[in-house]
Chain A
Amino acid sequence: MNKAGCTFKPPILLILAALLLGGCAAQADPHRKLIYGLTLSPSGIDPHINASAELGIPLRSVYDTLIFLDPVTGEFVPGLATAWSISEDGKRYTFELRDDVVFHDATPFDAAAVKANIDYVLNADHHSQKAAALLGPITSVDVIAPDVVVFNLEEPFAPLLDSLSQVYLGMASPQALERWGASEYQFHQVGTGPYRFVEYIPNDRILLERFDGYDWATEIYREPHAGYREIEFRFFEDLATRAIALESGNVDILGEIPPMDAQRLSSSGEFSMHPVPIPGQPLQYLFNTKNEPTDDVRVRTALIHAVDRQMIVETVFMSTSPVALGPLSAEGFGHLLSTNQLAYDLTSAQELMREAGWIADQEGVLRDKDNTAMELTIIAPSWGSNPDVAQLVKVAWEALGAEVTLQIAPGFGPLREAQASGNYHAIGINFFGTDPDILRPMFTSTGLYNWSGYANNELDNSLRLAAQSSLDPVQRQRLYQKSIEHITTQALVLPIRDYVNLVIADNDIAGLRYSAPGWFPLLIELKPTS
C-alpha cells in the first residue's frame, strides 16, 4: 500500500470525534431533569384562550384551580378555594379563598385575582376557545371580601364546579395578565402551582422549574415537594418516531404510543406501560343529517351496522382500548350508557338500505330509484389513529355498496374549514371532559359543534335541562340517559373506540399518576426510582 491510504482517515476520525462530542454534550445528571414528550404542537398554549388538551400536560402543574377533582374518589376537593356553597336557585356560587397563597411572581392571590382571571377569559377580544364556554351562563363575578368571591349566573349551570377544576380556568397572576396581554401572555405564564413556567419556544420546547415555595398544595397531591427540579417538554408529533425516541433515550415519558410499540417496549424490561383511559367522547363519526342520503335514519343505522367495530379496534388498537358503546366513553360515564350497542350486522344493514330505497345492482353498487349510485364523503382529522380508522370505515361502507371519498383534514383549522363547506356525510370529531355536558354543543340545534346538523326540540330540552339541574343529580342522570338513547336511536354518531392513552415511561421514573381528565400527569409526584 502507498501512503495515500491515510489521506482518507481524517474525515472518519472527525466524524467519530463529532459523535463522541455529541454524546458528552447530551448526557446530563438523570436525577435533575426529566424530559416529557408531547404529541401535538398546539397553535397556542394559553389555557384561558386555547383549547388543546396537550397544553394541560405541562400547565396543569403551573396552575392551581379553585377546586380539584380527585382522580381516585371522583369527588371535588378544595384547591385555592377552601369551601363553596350554591344558592337555592342555583344562580349564585360563593367561594371562600385561601389567604396564604402567592403567585410565582410574588403577587398575592385574592378575590380580585379571581375576578381578573374570569374577566380575562370572558373578554370577547381574547377569543377564548374553551375556557369561556366552560363558564357557561356566567354574568359577573363579585369581590365580597379579599377572601370571598361570588359567581353570578343567568341560569343554573350544573357543570360549573367541574369547569372550575380544569386547567383552562387555572388562576393566573393578574399582574402578568395585565402586563403581557392576550397575545404575549402564553410566553410568560405565572400561576401558583408546584411548577414555575420558565419558557416556551413554539414547536421546540416548554420548560418548567420546580417552585420550592409551594405551601398550599391540594390534598390530591400526595407528595407536593418530591418532583424533579426541571421538566422539559419536547414535541414528538410523528407517530413513527415516538418509540425510537424512547429507546434512544431522547425522552423519558411519552404518551400516545402505537399499541405494537407499547407492547414491545413494556416487555423489554426498560420501560413500563401505563394505559390511561380518557373520559369524554370516543373516537367517533358524526353523520351529516342535512345531506342525502344520511338524512335518512335508516341509512345512518345501516351504515353503523356495516362497520365491524370490533375488527377495527383489534386491527388498529390491538385491543388496547375498548369498543365504544355510545356518544360518551364508558370511563366516567358507564352509568349513563345502555349496553345495547349497535352491532356489526351486514344483513340488517342491507335490509335497512333496501327499506330506504337503496338497492344493490349487479356489481353490488347501491342505487336509488333514479339509478343514482350512493356517494359518501368522510372527513377525518389527521392526528393519532384517525386516518387508519377512517380507511377501514371507508372499506366497510364500500363493501356495503357505497362509493366513498375519504378526505384527511390536517389540523383543527382545516377540519373546521372542511366542515363549514358542508360537503360531507360523516366527520370525525370528539371532545374530552369529565362532565357529560360535553354532549350539549354537539347535539343541540344551536350548538357550536352541531356538525350533524340535527335539530330536535326534545333533545335540545333534555340536554339544556340536564345542564341546569345543578341541585338534582338524579334528575340530571336521568336526562342524560334519555338524551343518549335519543342520539343512539337516531343513529347520529358512529362510535368506534374509547380513548386509552398508552403512556410509556422509563423504569427509572416512579410515581406516575394522572389527574381526573386523563391526559394530565401529576408532575410533582414524579421522582427517580432509586
Chain B
Amino acid sequence: MVPASHRTQTHFLIDIAKRVFEGLLTAWIAVTLTFFALRAATGDPVSSLLSQGLATVEQAQALRTALGLDQPLTIQYLDFIAGLFKGDLGLSLYTSQPVDQIILQQLPSTAELALSGLISGVLLGFFLGTTAAWKRDHWTGKLASSLSGLSTSVPVAFIAILALLLVGMLGQQTTGNLNFLGYSGLLPALVLGITTAGPIAKVIESGLIESLQSEYIHAAMARGYQKDLRLLWHALRPALPPVVSLSALEAAYLFSGTVVTETVFSRPGLGRLLLRSILEGDFPIAQGLVVVAAIFYTLSHLGADLIAMLLDPRLRDTT
C-alpha cells in the first residue's frame, strides 16, 4: 500500500503533468488554426508582390522557393512547425527580415508597457476592490464599486483619448516640461492599468465580502477586534489565489489592449506591429504575432493554474 501522503503527492504530479499536456495541446491547435486560416485566405502572397511590380517572374519564383511557398500545404505546415521549435517564424513579405527578429526588436517596448500596465492595474484593482468591500455601506465603497464596473465597460481607446486630452490640456496650461507625465511611457501604462483594474477589483470585492461575512471574521469582530489593517489582511488572504490566476490571464489579454494604446500614444511595440502588418497584408508577421500570443496565453494560463494549485491546498486534492 502507498502511504496516503505519498499518494496525494503522486496525484499532484500527475495533475501537473496533465495540465502541462493540455496546455501544449491547446497551443498546438491554436497555432495550427492560425496557420491554415491565414494561408487559406491569403493564397499566394508572392503573386500579389509580383502584381505590384516589386519582383520579376524569376525573382518571384526565387522568393517562393525561399519562403517555401512552392511546396504542398502540408509540407509548408510541417516546415512551419519545425521552424517554430527553432524560433524561426519565416520572413516578412515586404522587408525580407526574419519575423522572429522583427518581433524580438519590438518585444521589449511592449513587455515594458504590458508589465507596468499589469502592475498599475493590480494596484488599482486592489485599491478599488478593497474599498468597495470594506466601505460597502459608505458612499466611497459604492463609488469604488461603480468605478471598477466602469473600467470594464469603457473601451481602451476612449480611456486613452481622455488621458491624452488631459496631457494636452496640461501642456497648454503650463509652460514647463511635461516629460514627467511620461507621455509615451507611464501614461499608456496607466491607461492599460485602468482597463485591467476592473476585473481584478471585482474579484477582490466579492472575495472580500464573502470572507468578511464568514463566521471567523464575525467571531473576531465580536471579540472586540477593530476593523483595521490586521483584520483586512486576514480577510483578504482567502481572496488572493483567484486574483493571482486572474492577473496571469489578464497579462495575456493585455496584448489586445497594447494594440490600441500603442497606436493612440504613437509608441513602438508589438501591438502597432500587428496593426501595421494587418493593414499592409504582411501575413507572416501577423501570423508570427498571433502564434506568440497564443503560446504566451497558454503558458500564463498554465502558470496561473499551477500557482493556484500551490496556493490553495484544497485544489491539490481534487482531480
- CA–CA, A6 and B183, complex, Å: 30
Say whether, besides A4-B227, A15-B120, A22-B182, A241 and B280 are in contact (CB < 8 Å): no
| Chain A residues close to B by CB (< 8 Å) | 2-4, 6-8, 11-12, 14-15, 18-20, 22-23, 26-27, 43-44, 127, 183, 201-204, 235-238, 240-245, 247-250, 268, 270, 382, 410-411, 413-414, 416-417, 419-421, 448
Contact yes or no, A11 B124, CB < 8 A: yes
Contact yes or no, B124 A241, CB < 8 A: no
Say whether, besides A23-B179, A270-B175, A4 and B94 are in contact (CB < 8 Å): no
Binds A, one of B68-76, B127-135, B293-301: B127-135
Contact of B180 among A19, A204, A270 (CB under 8 A): A19
Contact yes or no, A7 B229, CB < 8 A: yes
Contact yes or no, A247 B184, CB < 8 A: no
Contact of A420 among B53, B183, B266 (CB under 8 A): B53
- CA–CA, A26 and B175, complex, Å: 17
**Separation in Å of the A395 CB from the closest CB of chain B?**
25
* Inter-chain contacts of A22 with B (CB < 8 A): 180-182, 185-186
Say whether, besides A8-B131, A15-B123, A245 and B232 are in contact (CB < 8 Å): no
* Inter-chain contacts of B227 with A (CB < 8 A): 2, 4
Chain B: residues with Cβ within 8 Å of the partner, total of: 59
- CA–CA, A385 and B155, complex, Å: 26
Contact yes or no, A23 B264, CB < 8 A: no
| Chain B residues close to A by CB (< 8 Å) | 48, 51-55, 59, 94-97, 102, 105-106, 109, 120, 123-124, 126-127, 130-131, 134, 164, 167-168, 170-172, 175, 177-186, 190, 226-229, 232, 263-266, 268-269, 272-273, 276, 279-282
Contact of A241 among B97, B185, B265 (CB under 8 A): B265
Contact yes or no, A3 B229, CB < 8 A: yes
Contact yes or no, A244 B164, CB < 8 A: yes
Contact yes or no, A247 B268, CB < 8 A: no
Contact yes or no, A4 B186, CB < 8 A: no
**Separation in Å of the B285 CB from the closest CB of chain A?**
11
**Separation in Å of the A306 CB from the closest CB of chain B?**
31
Say whether, besides A14-B123, A204-B109, A250 and B184 are in contact (CB < 8 Å): yes
- CA–CA, A248 and B168, complex, Å: 7
Contact of A235 among B94, B105, B106, B268 (CB under 8 A): B268
- CA–CA, A497 and B285, complex, Å: 36
What DSSP secondary structure best describes chain B's contact surface? helix
**Separation in Å of the A458 CB from the closest CB of chain B?**
26
- List the A residue with the shortest CB-CB distance to B124: A11
**Separation in Å of the B294 CB from the closest CB of chain A?**
23
- CA–CA, A238 and B263, complex, Å: 7
Contact yes or no, A4 B272, CB < 8 A: no
Known: A23-B182, A235-B268, A413-B52. 17 other contacts (CB 8 A): A2-B226, A2-B227, A15-B123, A22-B180, A22-B186, A127-B55, A183-B96, A201-B105, A201-B268, A204-B106, A238-B263, A238-B264, A247-B178, A248-B179, A248-B181, A382-B279, A417-B48
* Inter-chain contacts of A2 with B (CB < 8 A): 226-228
* Inter-chain contacts of A183 with B (CB < 8 A): 96-97
Between-chain CB contacts (< 8 Å), 16 pairs: A2-B228, A7-B134, A20-B180, A23-B182, A202-B105, A237-B266, A238-B266, A240-B264, A245-B183, A250-B184, A414-B281, A416-B54, A417-B51, A420-B53, A421-B51, A448-B53
- CA–CA, A421 and B264, complex, Å: 32
- CA–CA, A12 and B123, complex, Å: 9
- CA–CA, A419 and B54, complex, Å: 13
Contact yes or no, B185 A26, CB < 8 A: yes
Contact yes or no, A249 B178, CB < 8 A: yes
Contact yes or no, B279 A411, CB < 8 A: yes
* Inter-chain contacts of A7 with B (CB < 8 A): 130, 134, 229, 232
* Inter-chain contacts of A417 with B (CB < 8 A): 48, 51-52, 281
* Inter-chain contacts of A249 with B (CB < 8 A): 177-179
* Inter-chain contacts of B102 with A (CB < 8 A): 202
**Separation in Å of the A235 CB from the closest CB of chain B?**
7
* Inter-chain contacts of A419 with B (CB < 8 A): 52
Contact of B53 among A4, A247, A410, A416 (CB under 8 A): A416
Residue among B51, B131, B170 with max Cβ neighbours from chain A (10 Å): B51
Residue among B134, B266, B273 with max Cβ neighbours from chain A (10 Å): B266
* Inter-chain contacts of B264 with A (CB < 8 A): 238, 240-241
* Inter-chain contacts of B130 with A (CB < 8 A): 7-8
Contact yes or no, B167 A248, CB < 8 A: yes
* Inter-chain contacts of B177 with A (CB < 8 A): 27, 248-249
- CA–CA, A430 and B16, complex, Å: 61
**Separation in Å of the A131 CB from the closest CB of chain B?**
16
* Inter-chain contacts of A413 with B (CB < 8 A): 52, 94, 280-282
* Inter-chain contacts of A238 with B (CB < 8 A): 263-264, 266
* Inter-chain contacts of B171 with A (CB < 8 A): 244, 247-248
Contact yes or no, B179 A27, CB < 8 A: yes
- CA–CA, A422 and B185, complex, Å: 44
- List the A residue with the shortest CB-CB distance to B59: A127
Contact yes or no, B266 A245, CB < 8 A: yes
* Inter-chain contacts of B263 with A (CB < 8 A): 238
Contact yes or no, A44 B95, CB < 8 A: yes
5 nearest A-B residue pairs (beta carbon): A23-B180, A247-B171, A410-B279, A416-B52, A420-B51
* Inter-chain contacts of A416 with B (CB < 8 A): 52-54
- List the A residue with the shortest CB-CB distance to B273: A203
- CA–CA, A244 and B180, complex, Å: 14
- CA–CA, A268 and B168, complex, Å: 13
* Inter-chain contacts of A4 with B (CB < 8 A): 134, 227-229, 232
- List the B residue with the shortest CB-CB distance to A261: B168
